[in-house]
C-alpha cells in the first residue's frame, strides 16, 4: 500500500511537467483559433473581439494559471469551437476507445501468446518460420493499407461488417461487436506481431533453463512444461500488453480515421488542427495520467507472475 501511495505521489511532478510542456507547445505553435472560428470573411475587428472574449489576448502565464486553477476544481474547460464541455467530448470518446482497446488486446493475447509459445517450442521449424513471416509482414504493412484491404474484403466484397462508424454497446452486443471487428483486427495485427515475437523470444530463453530440462526429465507433459515456462516468461509479456493498452487508449488515429470511429485519437488530432486549446491540453494531460496509472498497474502485476518481486 505504501508503495502504491509513493508511486501515486510521484506522478504529481510528472503530470506538472506534462502540463507545462503541453501548454507551451500548443500556445507557442503558429495558428489562431479565433481566425478559424470567425471564418474567411471575418474582419480584423471580429477576430480581435473574439480573441478578447475567448481570453486569448491575456498573457500566456495568465492563461496557464486560469487553466490550472480550473483543473484543480475538476473543470477541464470548454471547447472554444463547439462550446461543448471537454468532459462531454471525452465522455463521447471513452466508450469507443475503451471498446477497441480492450477487444484488440483480447484478440492479441488470445492469438499472440499461443502463437509465440508454439513458435518457441518448435523453434527453427516450418511453423516457427511461418509465424515469424506473419509477424514481419504484420509489422511492415502500414495500418491504413491493412484497413483499406479489410474494408474491401470484409465490408464490400463480403458484406459482413460495416465500412465505418461505431455503434454503442447500449444498442446491442451484436451491433456493437460488429462495428468494431474490423478496426480491432486492423489494430490487433500489429500487436499480435509484437507480442508473438516477444513471447517467442522469452519462452525460448526459458525453455533452455535447467529447471525446464528437469521438468521434462521428470516426465511432465508438453502443455505443463509450456505453462510453466510461460509463467516465468510473463513479466516482459505483461509489460508489452500493458503498454499496448495504454497506447490504444491514447488513441490510434489512423485506424480511427479509416473506420470513422469517434475515438480519443481523432479528438486530439481534430483539436490540434483547429487549435482548440482546452481540448488538446486536457486530453493530453489525461492521456499522460492513463500512461502513469497503467505503468503502475503493470508494476503491480509483476507480483502475480513472480512472487519473488518485492516493493
Partner 1 sequence: MMKRRTLAALAAFGAFTLGTLSPQAMAQAPGKTLRMVAHADLKIIDPTFTTAYISRNFGYMVYDTLFSQDASGKPQPQMVEKYSQSDDHKQWTFTLRPGLKFSDDSAVTSADAIASLQRWTSRDSFGRAMVAGGVEWKAVDPRTFTMTLAQPFSMVLDALAKPSGYPAFVLPERLAKLPTTSPINESLGSGPFIFKRDEWVPGNKAVFVRNPQYVPRTEAPSGLAGSKASKFDRVEWLYLPDSNSSVAALQRGEVDYIESVPPDYIAPLRANKDIKVGSGGSFQAFLVLNHLHPPFNNIKARQAFQAAVNQEKFLAAMGYPPDMRMAYCHTFFICGSPNDTAAGSQAWAKPDLAKAKALLAESGYKGEKVVILVPTDITYHNGSALMAAQTLRSIGMNVDTQSMDWASVTARRAKKEAPSAGGWNVYVTVAGEFDANSPVTNAYLSPACGNSLPGWPCDKQLDELRTAWLQSANATERKQRLDAFQARAFEAVPYINAGQYSMAYAARTNIKGLDKLWGGMPLVWMLDK
Q: How far is the CB of 270 from partner 1 (least distance, A)?
A: 5
Instruction: Encode 255-276 in three state secondary structure.
Output: HHHHCCCCCHHHHHHHHHHCCC
DSSP letter assigned to residue 218: T
Query: Is the Cβ of residue 4 or residue 25 nearer to partner 1 in the bound state?
Result: 25
Name residue, grid cell 488542427: 273
Q: How far is the CB of 179 from partner 1 (least distance, A)?
A: 7
Q: How far is the CB of 99 from partner 1 (least distance, A)?
A: 14
Q: How far is the CB of 249 from partner 1 (least distance, A)?
A: 18
Query: Is the Cβ of residue 64 or residue 81 nearer to partner 1 in the bound state?
Result: 81
Cα distances (Å, whole numbers) of residue 6 to 12, 163, 243, 289 = 10, 46, 21, 15
Which parts of the chain are beta strand (E)? none
Q: How far is the CB of 33 from partner 1 (least distance, A)?
A: 8
Query: Is the Cβ of residue 201 or residue 286 nearer to partner 1 in the bound state?
Result: 286
Query: Is the Cβ of residue 157 or residue 208 nearer to partner 1 in the bound state?
Result: 157
Query: Is the Cβ of residue 53 or residue 224 nearer to partner 1 in the bound state?
Result: 53
Taking the C-alpha atoms of residue 22 and residue 7, their distance in angstroms, rounded to an integer, is 22
Helix (H/G/I), strand (E/B), else coil: 85 = strand
Tell me if 190 sits within 8 A of 143, measured CB to CB: yes
The contact set with partner 1 (CB under 8 A) reads 30-32, 35-47, 49-50, 52-54, 79, 81-84, 89, 92, 148, 151-152, 155-156, 159, 162-165, 167, 171-175, 177-179, 257-260, 262, 266-267, 270, 273-275
Amino acid at each position: 500500500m505504501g508503495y502504491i501511495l509513493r508511486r501515486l505521489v510521484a506522478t504529481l511532478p510528472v503530470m506538472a511537467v506534462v502540463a507545462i510542456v503541453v501548454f507551451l507547445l500548443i500556445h507557442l505553435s503558429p495558428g489562431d483559433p479565433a481566425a478559424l472560428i470567425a471564418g474567411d470573411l471575418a474582419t480584423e475587428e471580429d477576430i480581435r473581439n473574439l480573441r478578447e472574449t475567448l481570453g486569448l489576448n491575456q498573457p500566456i502565464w495568465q492563461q496557464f494559471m486560469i487553466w490550472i486553477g480550473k483543473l484543480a476544481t475538476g473543470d477541464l474547460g470548454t471547447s472554444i469551437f463547439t462550446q461543448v464541455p471537454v468532459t462531454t467530448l471525452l465522455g463521447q470518446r471513452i466508450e469507443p476507445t475503451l471498446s477497441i482497446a480492450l477487444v484488440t488486446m483480447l484478440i492479441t493475447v488470445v492469438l499472440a501468446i499461443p502463437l509465440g509459445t508454439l513458435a518457441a517450442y518448435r523453434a527453427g521449424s516450418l511453423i516457427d518460420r511461418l509465424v515469424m513471416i506473419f509477424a514481419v509482414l504484420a509489422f511492415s504493412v502500414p495500418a491504413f493499407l491493412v484497413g483499406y484491404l479489410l474494408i474491401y474484403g470484409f465490408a464490400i466484397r463480403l458484406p459482413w461488417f460495416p465500412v465505418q462508424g461505431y455503434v454503442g454497446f447500449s444498442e446491442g452486443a451484436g451491433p456493437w461487436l460488429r462495428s468494431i471487428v474490423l478496426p480491432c483486427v486492423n489494430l490487433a495485427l500489429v500487436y499480435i506481431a509484437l507480442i508473438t515475437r516477444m513471447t517467442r523470444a522469452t519462452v525460448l530463453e526459458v525453455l533452455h533453463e535447467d529447471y525446464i530440462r528437469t521438468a521434462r526429465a521428470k516426465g511432465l507433459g508438453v502443455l505443463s512444461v509450456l505453462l510453466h515456462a510461460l509463467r516465468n516468461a510473463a513479466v516482459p509479456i505483461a509489460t508489452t500488453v500493458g503498454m499496448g493498452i495504454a497506447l490504444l487508449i491514447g488513441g490510434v488515429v489512423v485506424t480511427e480515421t479509416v473506420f470513422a470511429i469517434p475515438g480519443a485519437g481523432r479528438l486530439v488530432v481534430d483539436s490540434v488542427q483547429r487549435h482548440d486549446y482546452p481540448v488538446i491540453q486536457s486530453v493530453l494531460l489525461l492521456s499522460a495520467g492513463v500512461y502513469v496509472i497503467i505503468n503502475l498497474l503493470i508494476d503491480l502485476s509483476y507480483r502475480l507472475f513472480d512472487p519473488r518481486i518485492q516493493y
